[in-house]
Structure 1
Amino acid sequence: MVKKKLLSVTLVAVTVCSMIFTGCGNSAENTGNDTGKTDTDVQAGNTAGDVADVADDVEKPEKITIMVDGTFQATLADGQEEWVNKWEELTGIELEVIQPDHNAYYDVLGQTFASGPENWPDVVILGSSYYSGYAGEGALWDMTDAWNNSELKKNPNTDVAVVEGNMLDGHLYGLALGGGGGCMTFLRKQWLDNCGLDIPTTYEEYLEMLDAFSNGDPDGDGINGNTIGVSAAGFVGNEAPYTNYLPEFYQDAYPSFYQGEDGVWRDGFTEDSMKEAIKRLQDAYNKGYIDKESLTNATSNCRTKFMEGEFGAFTYWAGGWSDQLSAGLAANGQDSELVFMPPIAEVGKYWQRCAPVYAITSSCKNPEGVFKYFLESIFDDGDMETLWIYGVEGVHWSRQAETVCGNTYQDGEFHMLEMRSQPGVQYTTIIMGDTNICPLTERLVPVKKYTEESMEIFNANNKTAPLPVTTDMMSQYNGDLTSLKNSIIADCVVQGISVEEGYKRFEQEGGVEWSQAIVDSLNNK
């Protein structure tokens, strides 16, 4: 019976992912501030023996296997082998990293779960939309007791609220390494200046800016109409809050299930606000304001296009990415000055997503050991935490006197090195930012200009996305329902079918029935 239910939810996950036209959800990007510190010269010696000293009551695993998406930025192209070697040196444990292509991650994860527990990794990264589903089906180990008894929870510097914000009915199945972060809109200042525009404060002003960016000469090359207003990785995201890459068009609309202030659950896709959002997207797309490749873009495509000067408004992760995008613009010979747009009046607040988590699967043979030696060991305020934030000395960072990407450093001055995968741009942080659940005591580098500025605006203007809840009806229908919703949005925006036709299809193909069944199950939970 349990095996059948697990198969059901994994097939749902596969269905959902194969139909969602978006890039990162994540997890999934590195959304933390580009800051953090531990002086490894002072704290050297935090080795495998030290870890064993504080965890001698827990069996030490011989090997740990993890499956990660692109938010684990120590990729094969960017020093994963050296990162793993350093991790193994610190712990004395073999580590196997399975990293599918970022945009195919949930497809591969779903197929892996469907293939049977004997093939499951010990640890997986899960965005909020998948976390509650897999937890509800018994695929994840309940780490509540391990968390409650951990030194990490007892540490006064640990942000317990972020961790326990992912509890489901009082149980914890995944550890968030930091807050969820969120997206805000970055603008090319040079383009605004060339068009004689101020930062938009309303949707009308936002459309005026997109029109100028799409039909004018914002880049000053003497040619009108060879640039784009805005681009995105899909029209709708694959995890809560779903609308974060195109907030100005969605405004008060939400395409999934949410609980109102009155405590009643609703499906936002069925509300008039969603129909109006689709019309706004459709209109802007038809006018050429939105990149025509948005349906198939990955977030990496968007970053590259932005840094190469193809479009001027980019809603992306506040924090360290802002300085990285600015550096990318400079590396491509573009003016690198950015400005940050507070949410327009119709949006009100940007969404802060539910934090992605590292979850231990229920097939793991030694989950207590994996929790202690893999998850809890991250936050040692020493060499391990430095590794997770900054990576490996000589690969990702250095203290040698040298010039990197035009920046000159003195001997002994900590600095990040040039990215292997993106020449001309320095690494910021590697896997997590220093604004994690238990930050380093000291910082290695100062907060960068745009990181600080973007986070200040975002922190003052955000709201937390709803944590998805699972029910039997959700598990049974939401995969097909989400695929249908996303297909309708795509058809309306790209193919030009009317919103009325789209919602007629929603009814004809079972969407209304599935939606109501899920709403009823949520309200009767």
Structure 2
Amino acid sequence: MMVRGRAVRMTLAAMAAASMIVPLAACGSADAGKTTVDGKPIVKILVVQGTPQLPVKDMQWAKDLEKESGAKIEWKTVLDSAWSQQKNASIAANDIADLNIRAYRPEDAAQNPEAFEDFLADLDKLPNVKAFFDAKPTAKKYVDVDGKMYTLPSDRGKAFAASGQHMLINKQWLDKLGLDVPITWDELTQVFEAFKTQDPNGNGKADEIPMNLAPLPAESLGGWSNPFLFLNSTGIVTHYNSGPSQQGYYVKDGKVGNVMQTDQFRQVLDYLASLKKAGLVPSDWVTASSDVYRSRNKVGGSAAQVGAIFGWDQSGFGNIGSELANQYISIPVPSAPGVSADETVWDASGISGANEFEDYHMSMSSKAANKEACLKIIDLLYSEKYSVQQMWGSFGTYLKQTGDHSYALTDAMKKAQDDQKVPALEDRLAGWIPDEVTAEGDRNADSISAVDKANDEQYRNIGGEKNYFPIYVRLTVDEQNTVTNNNTTILSTVLPLIAKMAQNGVDDASWNTLQSQLESLNLQQNIDIWQKAYDKVVK
């Protein structure tokens, strides 16, 4: 008994000692990973990058940022293709880096608010971000969601206050055949017929594709380079860089509707089908892969095969300035029958800010170990000094400062871009390019500004926010869930029928079936939700 009692007393003593040690061990564990051995705060930054970009940790500006911030920065690069599969898992596991560039959207944070820092409470410590918002109030409205700001936007500069959508046509072919730029659908069809039959590329082969249409997406109605950009010919404004327009929602005189219920949509479907019937577009355009679509634009070297496309700019045909790309110009979208030139509009993505700004270029974990260091890094990133280097490459090798707010890209940077080994974040920057900044040799900015001028008059025809969704029209989490669930059911049901009509034309039976499906699948509920959100911010 004596031995057993002694053992019990020893066990109790050991437990008491252990209870005294635990807080010390916990404290040591909490500090692990927060600072280096020499006391520098450690900040982990996740960057979602594209395949043409070099890892950010190897960029000189990133090394300079680390030195100036006084922190030890641990960079982690994830490619877009991988991140799309990792994002939701990272949120579910609360495995969120201290800072995240182009990773989490406002909707992600709104559904998981406890995981992300609300930047509204930190703006006094972010003077460069405050200056950005003062200069660009639209950018602040874009990310201020119901009094919370879980993400910060980017601004790649005023040159990108342009749509990402344009109609491009082969000017060399027009000139060779003595044709004017078409201004109506009838004229456009006549041009395409000439492209098909009169050998404009001069190779003696009937290999011309008068218009190369992008395939219809499987999960949305509209989107990048989408053939339903022809809706603008009818007076309905698209907004295909982002937002509800991609699901068919539009605004006319302040009233929200869905294009799938309009006569104009039927008119566009019939026109697309007529182009296919006449052999003026690829017979498989609806279902062709994106790779096939893109490759057709670049076939033939300097002897083009394609007459026209919807696209970003001439880079759809090769590097800007190449012999093939130089054959193309942007044109105003031709007017549909019965629509006058002053009623014809163009995609509003540019004038709304959806091309200049993106709303998810910086987020911060609410559990960031070194909050003050994180905020200092963010503010440095949004300075002009680091914004321009994120956009165009590090000073010295890739970018030179030529004056106050003026810069020039070096030949080394242009070669890196052409070689698809870009030493910059470019449009993925977590920063702000102020309006007074100029960058000589920025071919991307120069090109998008130039092609967008063709649509100036059609932008004026839009008539302001009464006819499109501003980028800061937002839904609540519950509204977003309802709309998303409805859209999934609606589009999975109707897109196959729409694809058939785009190829074969619209008969009354098919059109009536489409309308019946839309009415039965809660489309009106979504329209009402978007109307409420629109009315909330557009006065």
Aligned-partner SS, 1:177: strand
Question: How far apart in 1 are the matches of 2:394 and 2:73?
Answer: 17
Map of 1:380 onto structure 2: 383
Q: How does 1:273-312 map to 2 (within 5 A)?
A: 273-292=264-283, 294-295=285-286, 302-308=293-299, 309-312=304-307
Distance verdict in 2 for CA 1:220–1:360, change over 3 Å: same
Q: Is the 8 A contact 2:483 2:526 kept in 1?
A: yes
Which of 134, 139, 142 does residue 163 from structure 1 map onto?
Answer: 139
Per-residue deviation, 1:341 = 0.5
Question: How far apart in 1 are the matches of 2:433 and 2:510?
Answer: 50
Per-residue deviation, 1:236 = 5.4
Which of 440, 443, 450 does residue 445 from structure 1 map onto?
Answer: 440
Map of 2:102 onto structure 1: 125
Amino acid aligned to 1:379: Y
Map of 1:35 onto structure 2: none
Map of 2:474 onto structure 1: 469
Which of 87, 96, 110 does residue 76 from structure 2 map onto?
Answer: 96
Distance verdict in 2 for CA 1:305–1:375, change over 3 Å: farther
Identity %: 14
Higher RCO structure (Cα 8 Å, ≥6 apart): 1
Question: How far apart in 1 are the matches of 2:291 and 2:394?
Answer: 24
In the alignment, structure 1 residue 480 sits paired with structure 2 residue 471: no
Aligned-partner SS, 1:389: helix
Question: How far apart in 2 are the matches of 1:185 and 1:157?
Answer: 33
Amino acid aligned to 1:519: I
Question: How far apart in 1 are the matches of 2:223 and 2:316?
Answer: 22
Which of 133, 137, 149 does residue 111 from structure 2 map onto?
Answer: 137
In the alignment, structure 1 residue 257 sits paired with structure 2 residue 238: no
Once the two structures are superposed, residues 427-456 of structure 1 have per-residue CA deviations (whole angstroms, 9 ceiling, x without a partner) of 79851399x843386544256674553243
Aligned-partner SS, 1:356: strand
* C-alpha RMSD over aligned residues: 4.4
Map of 1:227 onto structure 2: 208
Aligned length: 432
Per-residue deviation, 1:115 = 4.9
Between Structure 1 and Structure 2, whose CA radius of gyration is higher? 2
Amino acid aligned to 2:453: E
Map of 1:41 onto structure 2: none
Q: Is the 8 A contact 2:166 2:311 kept in 1?
A: yes
Amino acid aligned to 1:93: I
Question: How far apart in 1 are the matches of 2:515 and 2:86?
Answer: 28
Q: Is the 8 A contact 2:192 2:210 kept in 1?
A: yes
Q: Is the 8 A contact 1:125 1:358 kept in 2?
A: yes
Aligned-partner SS, 1:273: helix
Q: Is the 8 A contact 2:215 2:293 kept in 1?
A: no
Distance verdict in 2 for CA 1:86–1:216, change over 3 Å: same
Question: How far apart in 2 are the matches of 1:141 and 1:240?
Answer: 34
Map of 1:150 onto structure 2: 126
Per-residue deviation, 1:163 = 0.7
Aligned-partner SS, 2:152: coil
Map of 1:336 onto structure 2: 326
Distance verdict in 2 for CA 1:250–1:444, change over 3 Å: closer
Question: How far apart in 2 are the matches of 1:437 and 1:459?
Answer: 25
Map of 1:63 onto structure 2: 44
Distance verdict in 2 for CA 1:376–1:494, change over 3 Å: farther
Per-residue deviation, 1:64 = 1.3
Q: Which moved more, 1:307-316 or 1:186-195?
A: 307-316
Per-residue deviation, 1:515 = 0.8
Q: Is the 8 A contact 2:90 2:96 kept in 1?
A: yes
Q: Is the 8 A contact 2:218 2:495 kept in 1?
A: no
Distance verdict in 2 for CA 1:131–1:482, change over 3 Å: farther
Structure 1 unmatched runs, 5+: 1-58, 400-411
TM-score (norm 2): 0.65
Per-residue deviation, 1:507 = 3.8
Question: How far apart in 2 are the matches of 1:329 and 1:282?
Answer: 32
Question: How far apart in 2 are the matches of 1:371 and 1:228?
Answer: 53
Once the two structures are superposed, residues 226-246 of structure 1 have per-residue CA deviations (whole angstroms, 9 ceiling, x without a partner) of 121223443359789737543
Distance verdict in 2 for CA 1:294–1:240, change over 3 Å: closer
Aligned-partner SS, 1:117: coil
Q: Which moved more, 1:207-216 or 1:171-180?
A: 171-180
Distance verdict in 2 for CA 1:422–1:513, change over 3 Å: same
In the alignment, structure 1 residue 491 sits paired with structure 2 residue 491: no
Map of 2:427 onto structure 1: 432
Which of 389, 411, 414 does residue 415 from structure 1 map onto?
Answer: 411
Q: Which moved more, 1:514-523 or 1:78-87?
A: 78-87
TM-score (norm 1): 0.66
Map of 1:28 onto structure 2: none
Per-residue deviation, 1:370 = 8.7
Map of 2:190 onto structure 1: 208
Map of 1:456 onto structure 2: 453
Amino acid aligned to 1:190: Q
Map of 2:311 onto structure 1: 316
Q: Which has the higher helix share?
A: 2
Q: How does 1:19-58 map to 2 (within 5 A)?
A: none
Aligned-partner SS, 1:176: strand
Aligned-partner SS, 1:339: strand
Q: Which moved more, 1:351-360 or 1:363-372?
A: 363-372
Question: How far apart in 1 are the matches of 2:221 and 2:99?
Answer: 25
Distance verdict in 2 for CA 1:511–1:66, change over 3 Å: farther
Once the two structures are superposed, residues 162-206 of structure 1 have per-residue CA deviations (whole angstroms, 9 ceiling, x without a partner) of 312414345444333226631222222111112321112222222
Q: Is the 8 A contact 2:332 2:458 kept in 1?
A: yes
Aligned-partner SS, 1:290: coil
In the alignment, structure 1 residue 352 sits paired with structure 2 residue 349: yes
Amino acid aligned to 1:123: N
In the alignment, structure 1 residue 188 sits paired with structure 2 residue 170: yes
Aligned-partner SS, 2:190: helix
Once the two structures are superposed, residues 440-485 of structure 1 have per-residue CA deviations (whole angstroms, 9 ceiling, x without a partner) of 8654425667455324334554367524533142143223334444
Q: Is the 8 A contact 2:392 2:399 kept in 1?
A: yes
